[in-house]
Chains A and B, each alone.
Chain A
Amino acid sequence: MSGFGNAFSSSIGKKFIMGITGLFLILFLIVHCFINALIFINDGGLTFNIGAHFMATNWLIRAGEVVLFIGLLVHIFQALRLTLQNQKARPVKYAVNDGKANSKWYSRSMGLLGTLLLIFLVVHLKDFWVVSRFTGIPTVDANGHEDLYAVMREKFQDPVRVAVYILAMFSLCYHLLHGFASAFQTLGWNHSKYNGIIKGLGVWYSIIISILFAAMPIAVYAGLIN
């Protein structure tokens, strides 16, 4: 075997890929969340539309979008591969297995939470990404930018959609609660001086990101912003 050998095909290597893509998606969520949070400026979406316009037209961002989709797909397919392998590693299941005695339910349910997020992502991409990239945003705002804010306001008048988005953010929160610290452990960053910071940061990150995202459909639906 030459060069890197089975660096990424071994069990640990596959986990490295999960951890690296996971951390990459965590970074993406920060950008996504804070640009979207511009709606809370409550200026009729003018600032938000500037952000959306920049994200839609800047070539570096557009190239980043391709990397993002690759990262997301790798994360999904690697997870699927790992899950199938893991199921094969225990062909006969236990009659009684007391999982809650030794681990958190969400750490054992990453596949389920991830699947819920994937289903949500299909809905979410159809709601906004397909509209802004392909079918076109119908109106422009006072600055002459595509009025993505108007699209958002229209979509979030539907209570079913709002409920789906809120439930998805619960999935996201629990997925991140395990995923954030888990990525560091996988990449070998387990150190008594940093463990507290990583765990604390992970919990705060998961909760703040999920609440901010969930607040957007709620605020629009409840008419808290105009």
Chain B
Amino acid sequence: MSTGNMNLTLKVWRQKNNNTKGALVDYKLSGISPDMSFLEMFDVLNEDLINKGEEPVVFDHDCREGICGMCSMFINGRPHGPKDLVTTCQLHMRSFNDGDTIVVEPWRAAAFPVVKDLTVDRSAFDRVIAAGGFISVNTGNAQDANNLPIPKMQADAAFEAAACIGCGACVATCKNASAMLFVSAKISQLALLPQGQPERYRRVQSMVAQMDAEGFGNCTNTGACEAECPKGISLENIARMNRDFATSKFISEETV
């Protein structure tokens, strides 16, 4: 890893577990390269801490390629930092200046309890998916893809919704800690395709009910989620979910 000449002050949220109170702790870092990713900068910090015999900062990460949805830092008041359409792992230190103070906090939401330091438990998202974010199919060979004609626009919109990596930036940045963008993307990716139709109106009812049960807040259409989403998931998905929800409650005769 290259060394560099950036000197930074980090204010990092340290919290032992969900039962204890956390606090911001100051760390001085020097010799940081502008080519490092934000997570590599944290690796340097953790090496320092380990060498000094202190507890390293716990943070979520996996692929470091911007596609897995694990990394999750709230950097200087924004999820995944100052750049649009990137995850924390794809954020580089050249986006900051020498001498900067950087405040790093975990996602904050009642539905995302802190596990330790910057790591939060996002299994609420898994339970929302499990409530209906799937299609039921018979086992056996998949039929030929061309048997199901899908208009290009429809396929593109479904694909764009499916780009959601479930990182939780939408919840983190929403002033109400609402999960509407995530849930609507997971509903839309199926509602837009023929395979999703049989369970379309059961799905929206079950997933919205689970979303509410997890304790996420209510959407006030500020649009912060769309602006901060590293995958550019659109607010159109939320409107589609609302439409489908209204249809499921007032037109469909099937109530879940």
Contact = CB atoms under 8 A, between A and B. Distances in A.
Interface of A: 1-7, 10-16, 82, 85-86, 88-99, 101-104, 107-108, 110, 178, 181-182, 185-190
B211 interface: yes
A93 B108 contact: yes
Given A182-B221, A188-B239, A188-B246, A5 B173 contact: no
B78 to A, nearest CB: 5
A157 B227 CA distance: 47
Given A4-B249, A89-B178, A188 B103 contact: no
Given A15-B242, A190-B236, A90 B220 contact: no
B8 to A, nearest CB: 15
Contact of B223 (A4, A13, A103, A188): A103
Contacts, number: 145
Nearest to B249: A7
Given A1-B255, A96-B77, A99-B224, 12 more contacts: A5-B205, A5-B255, A11-B217, A12-B208, A12-B245, A89-B110, A90-B177, A102-B224, A107-B221, A108-B222, A185-B238, A190-B240
Contact of B249 (A13, A89, A178, A187): A13
B105 A186 contact: no
Contacts of B241: 12
Nearest to B219: A15
A197 B16 CA distance: 51
Contacts of A89: 109-111, 176-178, 215-217
B122 interface: no
A11 B245 CA distance: 11
B106 to A, nearest CB: 9
A197 to B, nearest CB: 15
Closest 10 CB pairs of A and B: A98-B77, A190-B239, A188-B243, A89-B217, A102-B227, A86-B176, A7-B249, A89-B177, A86-B217, A103-B222
Contacts of A92: 108
Interface string B220-240: 111110011000000110111
9 contacts: A11-B217, A15-B242, A88-B217, A90-B217, A95-B24, A96-B77, A101-B77, A186-B242, A187-B246
A101 B84 CA distance: 10
B105 A15 contact: no
Contacts of A1: 255-256
Interface in B55-112: 74, 76-78, 82, 103, 105, 108-111
Contact-size category for B: 35 or more
Candidate in B13, B217, B246, B256 with the most chain A CB atoms within 10 angstroms: B217
Contacts of B211: 11
Given A93-B108, A107-B221, A88 B238 contact: no
Given A101-B77, A185-B238, A85 B218 contact: yes
B227 A103 contact: yes
B218 A94 contact: no
Nearest to B103: A96
Contacts of B24: 95
A91 B221 contact: no
A77 to B, nearest CB: 14
A184 to B, nearest CB: 8
Contact of B220 (A13, A94, A96, A110): A110
Given A101-B78, A185-B221, A94 B239 contact: no
A88 B255 CA distance: 29
Nearest to B104: A96
B130 interface: no
